[in-house]
Structure 1
Amino acid sequence: MSFDTERFISEIQNRPCIWNMSSEEYSNRVLKQSNWNEVAEIIYDDWQNLEENTKQKRIKDLQKKWKGLRDYHTREKNKDSSVKSGSGATKKRKTPYLDMLQFLNVSRASNQTSGNISAETSSDSSAILDENDHCVSRRPKKMTVFQEALINSMEKKEKTIQI
């Protein structure tokens, strides 16, 4: 019996509590386990005849397979965002199941964070407002010599471009 990956992905997609981190149900462990049992029952024809420890092992196998598919989706999306355009671009290769995994983009988009910049009030002219209207300094408190030189260089270029 070969594993039907397309059916597996489809069954996971129908159960957002397994994959959608923005769903309230995502943190409900009992519901999630129940949904994994449903998926296993659909995927494995002999599910009803299996012993409990075998069922648990197969559920763990399905969860590992899902993690692999989810990680694959993330890696391919990261490759897409880092592909260079123009003459240096390589021909895009066919990626199996990637189209079927597009529903994961909804989950990723709703969970993106704005970074680890701490909001702090500053009278420095290089302060900006973040998306929550907090004053955030553009420059860290302590910079390396390299960082200082880089910023100074960029500021000089910016001034010469404006002139």
Structure 2
Amino acid sequence: MSRIFKYDVVTLIEAIENKPCLWDKTADCFKDKIEKEKAWKDVCAFFEEDFLEKDKKEQHKIGEAIRGKWQNIRDSFVKSLKKKSGQATTKNICTMIT
């Protein structure tokens, strides 16, 4: 069962790039769950104009779709780096990303 991701992937990457707490393990806010949740809400609201007016169930559904796509993009990127570098370490990959 495949789902169609209705948002632009490049725009998603750019939106997340502007929120270091979602991807930069060296950022102070990376471990702050409240800050991360706020950042995810901001990203979701960017893609869905009426996101904050939707009920919690619909917000959760949208959030899961966006987070899931981000995880897929991130995991695919890391996997491709490992193939290129011959099993690069996670620390080296994080350095390459930032």
Count residues in correspondence: 88
User: What is the CA distance between 1:2 and its match in structure 2?
Assistant: 3.2
Q: Which runs of 5+ in 1 are unaligned?
A: 83-104, 111-163
Identify the residue that residue 43 of structure 2 maps to in structure 1: 39
Identify the residue that residue 31 of structure 2 maps to in structure 1: 27
Tell me the TM-score normalized by structure 2: 0.78
1:69 aligns with 2:55: no
Larger radius of gyration, structure 1 or 2?
A: 1
CA gap of 1:106–1:29, structure 2 versus 1, over 3 A, is farther
1:3 aligns with 2:7: yes
Per-residue CA shift, 1:4-40, capped at 9, x if unaligned?
1111100000000000011110000000000000000
Please give the secondary structure, in 1, of the residue aligned with 2:26. Answer: coil
Q: Which runs of 5+ in 2 are unaligned?
A: none
Higher relative contact order (CA 8 A, sep 6+): 2
Q: Which has the higher helix share?
A: 2
Between the aligned partners of 1:2 and 1:58, the Cα distance in structure 2 is: 11
Per-residue CA shift, 1:43-93, capped at 9, x if unaligned?
1234244212110221122111111011011011112113xxxxxxxxxxx
Q: Please identify, of 44-53 and 3-12, the stretch whose mean Cα deviation from structure 2 is larger.
A: 44-53
Identify the residue that residue 108 of structure 1 maps to in structure 2: 94
Which aligned segments of 4 or more residues in structure 1 are displaced greater than 6 angstroms? none
